[in-house]
A and B are shown apart, each in its own frame.
Chain A
Amino acid sequence: MIQLDGICKSFGENEVLRSLDLSAKKGEMLVLLGSSGCGKTTTLSVIAGLTKEDKGDIYLEGSRINDTPPHKRGIGFVFQNYALFPHLNVYENVEFGLKAGNKRSTRGGNKTEVKRALELVGLDGFEKRNPMKLSGGEQQRVALARALATEPECILMDEPLSNLDAVVRERLRHEIAQLQRDIGLTSIYVTHDQVEAMALGDRIAVLNNGRIEEAGTPEKIFYKPEKEFVARFIGRKNIFAGRSATLDEDNGVLQISTGNFDLTTVFVPSSVGTRVKACVRPEEIILAKSDRNTIAKSARNEIAGRIVNISQNGPLMRVLVDVGGAEMSADITRLAARDLGLKGGDRVLLTFKATSVHVIL
């Protein structure tokens, strides 16, 4: 288990970490998600002891390690650029930590340990190779084997896949997830890639401006974020400010202040007039052509609007609709867009369930 309490770190005038609290449970894969420059790498560097924190405490398995030098922390590190030793071959790279830490007698060699580590990452037989002549994916496997060979208490990975092409990245991501689960190694994985965070994390911590904005399961972070920043960061498009209007036992109605419409939600605020933010996921909206200009209120949300723009959004089409002054995005399939014959200026009806409206206090 790794725990950070109130870590502060500045580089000159630049405050990178502002009282950061973080913990990774034993055997857990914690993903630190954030945009570049938010302090992700510095956080890992502080945990590993490569950067000295200005303030705060770091605990590993319950003991404070602030003053333990990096080579005695027993924390493995996998770098974005692999950071292999260019003057050593693959075997010597993996063996480096065993020799440096004097964990095994060097007389008998570390053959079994090195072999096992290379087998773990599927590079058995690569011992004599020059690491600089391997592909990016293979190099990162060597780096992984090198870190695992020392049997660290936990492992930190700093965007390990971001220099790889899409196919290799996906395969290696899958393998890292598998490996981490098999070994049960406490891991902190830094990335700016949401897909990676979603696929790998037992828990995700979203980092913003040197602080943890929100931490939770991927399910919570991606579908029910508590913070507006997180909702925006994970790409929620339809976020509306409003206040709760009428309430009944099951449903609440939110009056949206930025647009002239109401939203029905299953969220029941404690009192009328509470200021809230409402998110509607673009892919849960159903579009229909309509000439009506009325707003229906029911357990389903039905909002009329006019198409502002239609654009490509990955495999889907994103339809931007003006709804009473606010803009709402809806994602529909290409086929649906063609069948409906949608074009800019068309009047449409947006329909979505009350459960599709996520409320942020």
Chain B
Amino acid sequence: MSLSFRISLSLIAGIFFGFIVVVLSCLLTATSFAEFTGEIRSPEIISAILLSLETSIAVVLLALLFGIPAAYILATKRFKGKNILDTLVDIPIVLPPLVCGLAILIAFGGEGIFSRFDVLFTVKGIIIAQLFVASPFLIRSAKTAFESIDRDVMDAARTLGASEFYTLTKVSLPLARNGIASGVVMTWARALGEFGATAMVAGCIPYRTETMTVGIYMHAMSGDISASVALSLILMSFAFTTLIVFKYLGTIRDGNLGPRGAAAQ
């Protein structure tokens, strides 16, 4: 690689990295420590943080409940229409969240098929919107993890007297744990950051349906930048933690794990 090429390459990359760092730092410089601590003591901000944590954790639990069986079936069973289901899982990932939100709004709205469930403009609505958008990340990740388990290992369990359920709980799940864990992290992060579908389904009602992202939007639009910044900084710290956890999990490959404590040997 010639020197001039290397310099121009570094320069272009440098511009990109610099841009990200500068933009993100603007969030930090937009507030002072005193302002920040003041904002996060406000009842509305605290309510938004709690609501976001509450809904995103509920989403993770529900995604585990529905997503693990879905991922297991997609990874291990052969059946007609499997490809269609597999593609279906990906749709919420590529679809704009606003479109997902609109679909939920119509499905649960006045004339909708689920209209008797009273979820619009409620916390339940937030959870449904976030689940719709975020759960595919868990299913994807868990499916890949299940697929990476040697088929013979599961067959061995069966011939040793383990039922399919016992095999799932004692062999497949432990061997897929890292894939599932990184799916959980991704789903949680996605649910926490969800805005479009949430706002569409649950609106922006302070103290009731105001999640952190909805709060950032509302406060920014109403000129209360310091509240937006405070919420954003908290979300950013969550995001960085997520990223670090995710990267760490990525370094341990599933199906390759040693027994407990063996990694230290």
Contact = CB atoms under 8 A, between A and B. Distances in A.
B161 A97 contact: yes
A296 B158 CA distance: 64
Interface in A78-98: 79, 81, 83-89, 92, 96-97
A86 B256 contact: yes
A250 B262 CA distance: 71
Interface string A96-112: 11001101000000000
Interface in B213-227: none
Contacts of B171: 85, 87
Given A86-B257, A132-B258, A101 B161 contact: yes
B160 A101 contact: yes
**In the complex, which range does the number of interface residues on chain A fall in?**
35 or more
Interface stretch (A68-76, A174-182, A198-206, A321-329): A68-76
A87 B150 contact: no
Interface residues of B, number: 26
A255 interface: no
A34 B7 CA distance: 62
A147 to B, nearest CB: 7
Contact of A100 (B160, B255, B260): B160
B103 interface: no
B175 A86 contact: yes
Interface in B147-167: 150, 152-153, 155-164, 166
B110 interface: no
Interface string A183-199: 00000000000000000
A71 B259 contact: no
Contacts of A88: 259
A204 B51 CA distance: 70
B161 A92 contact: no
A100 B152 contact: no
A92 B159 contact: no
A139 to B, nearest CB: 12
Contact of A87 (B158, B159, B161, B175): B175
Interface string B226-265: 0000000000000000000000000000011111101001
Interface of A: 45, 48-50, 69-77, 79, 81, 83-89, 92, 96-97, 100-101, 103, 130-133, 143, 146-147, 150
21 contacts: A69-B163, A70-B158, A71-B159, A71-B162, A73-B159, A77-B156, A83-B153, A83-B155, A84-B156, A85-B153, A85-B157, A89-B260, A89-B262, A92-B259, A97-B161, A101-B160, A101-B161, A130-B262, A131-B259, A146-B160, A147-B159
The 4 closest A-B CB pairs, nearest first, are A101-B161, A97-B160, A100-B162, A83-B152
